[in-house]
Structure 1
């Protein structure tokens, strides 16, 4: 009888302590999230760029924190799955693309897509993703470049230390793949973090007014080369 009472009291005290620790963890998490920032930058020029994302974290507060960057890419750019597979062994982050990507279609026939990036935990995770510009329709108004805007990614966090998801305002909770293997989904805190703007790419486009002249010159050059080749083959009795 005494053992039963002792067990019940111990269990209640343990639950109370766990609840208090959980509340403290959630409170600390809220303070920690307020100082989290995400910045994005772009490197290189032309059609082949690198989008670099840096996250400012204070990871010492939570040992089991997991980080997820959710990118929503515009249709004017794409990532090459084959290139990403090649880079997988050289970088400390993993990536999951939400849909198949056609590398050949122009921008006006493409669709935007989403990628989930899982960086290794550090105080300042940094992810550099190679992206490529799609070809755009030529301009008949004299424009030489097309502008493509890339927004900073959304930052999602997950930790087992805070299990109370109903008091995280202004942050929300959403479902996303647990890992890059996409085997299951988990609940993540969608951090309403400070974003350091966005980046805008200037991609060169063709001059629509010169299409007729270019096509005419190309046709003439092709006919000339064919005639010269035919004459050479006839002269030397080739074929």
Structure 2
């Protein structure tokens, strides 16, 4: 009888020690994750000109080692631009990141017949990496002609959201002022996981990109001139064929 009671007490004590150890480890990893969030920065720049640009996102992470942390960049793109899924698939095969699209991309439709979309970028972390850089090619969509004489239109590109997660920190509710959001776990499935979203220390405005647009006031003269040239060419061609008896 005493042996059984002693065995039960020993088992309970061992389980309590393991639980307490797991709780302390969880709190430790959550604290390190919060430090990572506090020291992380995200910046964005846009390279190249014309309809084909490159959006370069740089992420500054804490140099402290925190194993098992995953990084996710969420880009919310306006309808004025698009990405080429085939181009991105080729780049991701030779790069250090993977990408997931939230919807299908039609490469041909103009801006007024489409909507914005979201990309989820999963960079690879190979050991302690204080700096990440992801370059995504984007392309401008064709806009409707402008009748106000403006030669360019502006499309605003928002800074991406930085999300972090680790399996070793399960108490995500105590990481204020950062918020917990749901996002896809990986680039190749549709299941969602809880991520901690970095709360920027200051509001950052979007980066404006200028794309050329057609001049609507020139529609009539251009169409009229094109029709006139076609008619003159038809007359000249018909005269040549009649003269040389080609018909």
TM-score by length of 1: 0.92
5+ residue gaps, structure 1, are: none
**SS of the counterpart of 1:104?**
coil
5+ residue gaps, structure 2, are: none
User: Considering only aligned residues, what root-mean-square deviation do their CA atoms show, in Å?
Assistant: 1.9
Alpha carbons 1:59, 1:65 under 8 Å: kept:
no
Return the match for 2:24 from 20, 36, 42: 20
* 1:31 is the counterpart of 2:35: yes
Tell me: CA distance 1:217–1:161, structure 2 relative to 1, closer, same or farther (3 Å): same
**Could you say which residue in structure 1 is the equivalent of 2:89?**
85
Structure 1 stretch displaced more, 215-224 or 150-159: 215-224
**SS of the counterpart of 1:12?**
helix
Distance 1:232 1:182 in 2: 65
Tell me: CA distance 1:222–1:85, structure 2 relative to 1, closer, same or farther (3 Å): farther
Tell me: CA distance 1:139–1:15, structure 2 relative to 1, closer, same or farther (3 Å): same
Return the match for 2:223 from 189, 208, 215: 215
**Could you say which residue in structure 2 is the equivalent of 1:52?**
56
Aligned pair count reads 239
What is the 5 A alignment of 1:31-180?
Answer: 31-58=35-62, 60-121=64-125, 122-180=129-187
Runs of 4+ in 1 over 6 A off after TM superposition: none
**SS of the counterpart of 1:61?**
coil
TM-score by length of 2: 0.89
Structure 1 stretch displaced more, 140-149 or 226-235: 226-235
Tell me: CA distance 1:221–1:96, structure 2 relative to 1, closer, same or farther (3 Å): same
Return the index of the structure with the highest Cα Rg.
2
**Could you say which residue in structure 2 is the equivalent of 1:191?**
198
Tell me: CA distance 1:234–1:98, structure 2 relative to 1, closer, same or farther (3 Å): farther
Tell me: CA distance 1:24–1:142, structure 2 relative to 1, closer, same or farther (3 Å): same
**SS of the counterpart of 2:32?**
helix
Shift in Å at residue 123 of structure 1?
2.2
Distance 2:134 2:204 in 1: 15
Shift in Å at residue 85 of structure 1?
2.2
Tell me: CA distance 1:88–1:235, structure 2 relative to 1, closer, same or farther (3 Å): farther
Tell me: CA distance 1:7–1:232, structure 2 relative to 1, closer, same or farther (3 Å): farther
Tell me: CA distance 1:170–1:205, structure 2 relative to 1, closer, same or farther (3 Å): same
